[in-house]
Amino acid sequence: MKGNLKYKILLGSTFLIFILFEILKPKPTDWNVTLSPNDKIPFGTYVFRDLLEDLFPASQLTISENSIYQILKEEENSNLIIVSKIFEPSDEDLNSLVESINNGAECLLISEGSSVGVRDTFDIAFNHNYFSTDQLQARIDSLEIRFNGKYYEVPTSFISSTLGNDNEAEILSRTSESDVFFIEKKIGKGKLYVCSAPLLVTNFTLLSGENASLLEGLIAKLPDKKTTWASLYTSGRFEPQTSIRYLLTQPALRWAYAVGMITLLLFMIFKTKREQRQIPTIKPPKNTSIEFAETVGQLYLKFGNHQDIVDKKIRYLKEYFKSKYLLNVTFQNEEIEKVANKTGKEVDSISTLFFAVQQLNHLKYVDKNQLIHFNKKLEEFYINQNHE
């Protein structure tokens, strides 16, 4: 028992040390480009969402996970903001967007590329500048961009795509190397604004220096009316759909969940071992009815009380007729035919049985041979009845 206790203490201590180590060790920076409004990592857009909520009244800004078709079905002329690495809407969504812009809506598309359908429909050409994840982290080279007459310095790798020449588009911003990355296109009664550098609206960019005012340059052209950010095209429906998913998105709750599961596992490992004394095997009671009957018979035989045995057998025979055939028999001759009919036995057989009973009833003393003879008669009757 003491050995088991030491083992458990050692295992528990090791487990606690591991948990403390995992909790206290510095968490590595996640450099993945998610552009999600829920992510506070460098390339999430949590700060962009906060700044938008400051610039727009609460009643005018909505972040929706619905598709463009669903959004515009509810708010036909709503401003749209779309932030995406590669914008690839369905045909239904694209048709709804074109119709809405033609009818006077305005859309700000921040994406480094799009599907062929979007490029052909709006006549947009994206020129990609490919940078690896290491180059995004290194941020060695930088260039200047201009918004509303103000210059901002950003890493070269953050301008991951530029826009081709378009005579029908108004250029809103260039880099210091004259590459166009922000344009305005008039389509029908509305306008489409395209920015090909989504990394400009990430947490890293907006929290660097005075770059937070970049946002004002991006949305300055949008009219002051209800605006919807279609976050579905950023990272899909990112909100947890179940309780477990929500737990796993929160570091503290995720750790609590993991510790709880591991504790439950350890409990099951240790508690499944038998701790009580072994339960003894109890043999079922032995049927001693036959032995009891033999013992009682031997007692009657020893004392020679044959008359008592005969009386008991006669009483049992009367009870047999009463319980099985509903006959209250007194062993009179006039009952013989009735008993024979009820039992299906021959009249002679019943008559012989009744005669034996009548003879014994008139005797004051019954010897051994008479008892044996009467018992044989009864056995023949009972055996024949059982066969029938």
Residue 161 near residue 112, CB atoms below 8 Å? yes
Position 143 in a domain:
yes
Q: Give strand pairing partners of 81.
A: 108, 229
In this structure, the answer to whether residues 54 and 168 fall within a common structural domain is yes
In this structure, the answer to whether residues 131 and 208 fall within a common structural domain is yes
In this structure, the answer to whether residues 211 and 300 fall within a common structural domain is no
Spatial separation of the C-alpha atoms in residues 297 and 1, rounded to whole Å = 59
Position 255 in a domain:
no
How does pLDDT run across 7-36, given as a tens digit for each residue?
A: 667 777 776 777 777 666 677 777 888 888
- Mean pLDDT to the nearest integer, 148-152: 79
Residue 180 near residue 163, CB atoms below 8 Å? yes
Position 266 in a domain:
no
Residue 49 near residue 203, CB atoms below 8 Å? no
**Token duo for residue 353:** 């049985």
What pLDDT, on a 0 to 100 scale, did the predictor assign at position 1?
47
Q: Which of 299, 296, 335 is nearest to 317 (CA)?
A: 335
In this structure, the answer to whether residues 313 and 201 fall within a common structural domain is no
Q: Residue 54 is inside which H or E element, if any?
A: helix 46-55
Structural domain span for residue 316: 289-387
Position 261 in a domain:
no
How does pLDDT run across 288-301, given as a tens digit for each residue?
A: 767 776 776 777 66
How does pLDDT run across 173-189, given as a tens digit for each residue?
A: 888 888 888 999 999 99
Position 323 in a domain:
yes
Position 2 in a domain:
no
**257, pLDDT greater than 50:** yes
Q: Which of 8-22, 97-111, 357-371 has the lowest mean pLDDT?
A: 8-22
**215, pLDDT greater than 50:** yes
The mean pLDDT of the chain is 79
- In our burial notation (b when 16+ CB lie closer than 10 A, e otherwise), range 319-351 reads ebbeeeeebebebeeebbeebbebbebeeebbb
What pLDDT, on a 0 to 100 scale, did the predictor assign at position 238?
44
What CATH number corresponds to the domain at position 218? 3.40.50
Spatial separation of the C-alpha atoms in residues 146 and 175, rounded to whole Å = 7
Measured between alpha carbons, how far is residue 121 from residues 94, 217, 350 in Å? 9, 26, 114
Residue 340 near residue 347, CB atoms below 8 Å? yes
**192, pLDDT greater than 90:** yes
In this structure, the answer to whether residues 160 and 73 fall within a common structural domain is yes
**130, pLDDT greater than 70:** no
How does pLDDT run across 260-270, given as a tens digit for each residue?
A: 788 777 777 76
In this structure, the answer to whether residues 233 and 311 fall within a common structural domain is no
In this structure, the answer to whether residues 209 and 143 fall within a common structural domain is yes
Residue 140's contacts (CB-CB under 8 Å, 6 or more residues apart) are: 155
Measured between alpha carbons, how far is residue 156 from residues 141, 143, 172, 338 in Å? 6, 6, 19, 122
Range picked from 55-59, 123-127, 319-323 for highest mean pLDDT: 123-127
CA 85 to chain CA mean position, Å: 32
Spatial separation of the C-alpha atoms in residues 99 and 92, rounded to whole Å = 11
pLDDT band, residue 191 (cuts 50/70/90): very high
Phi-psi sector, 149: left (phi>0), alpha (psi -120 to 50), beta: left
- Mean pLDDT to the nearest integer, 325-339: 82
In this structure, the answer to whether residues 56 and 183 fall within a common structural domain is yes
Q: Give 247 or 30, the one with higher predicted confidence.
A: 30
Residue 88 near residue 115, CB atoms below 8 Å? yes
Residue 304 near residue 366, CB atoms below 8 Å? no
Total number of domains in the chain: 2
String of DSSP letters for 353-371: HHHHHHHHHT-S---HHHH
What pLDDT, on a 0 to 100 scale, did the predictor assign at position 240?
46
In this structure, the answer to whether residues 215 and 294 fall within a common structural domain is no
What pLDDT, on a 0 to 100 scale, did the predictor assign at position 237?
47
- Mean pLDDT to the nearest integer, 75-79: 81
Residue 290's contacts (CB-CB under 8 Å, 6 or more residues apart) are: none
What pLDDT, on a 0 to 100 scale, did the predictor assign at position 333?
81
In this structure, the answer to whether residues 99 and 194 fall within a common structural domain is yes
Position 32 in a domain:
no
Gyration radius of the chain's alpha carbons? 50
What pLDDT, on a 0 to 100 scale, did the predictor assign at position 271?
67
What pLDDT, on a 0 to 100 scale, did the predictor assign at position 387?
54
What pLDDT, on a 0 to 100 scale, did the predictor assign at position 239?
47
In this structure, the answer to whether residues 233 and 303 fall within a common structural domain is no
Residue 195 near residue 182, CB atoms below 8 Å? yes
**194, pLDDT greater than 90:** yes
For tokens 């090909």, the residue is 196
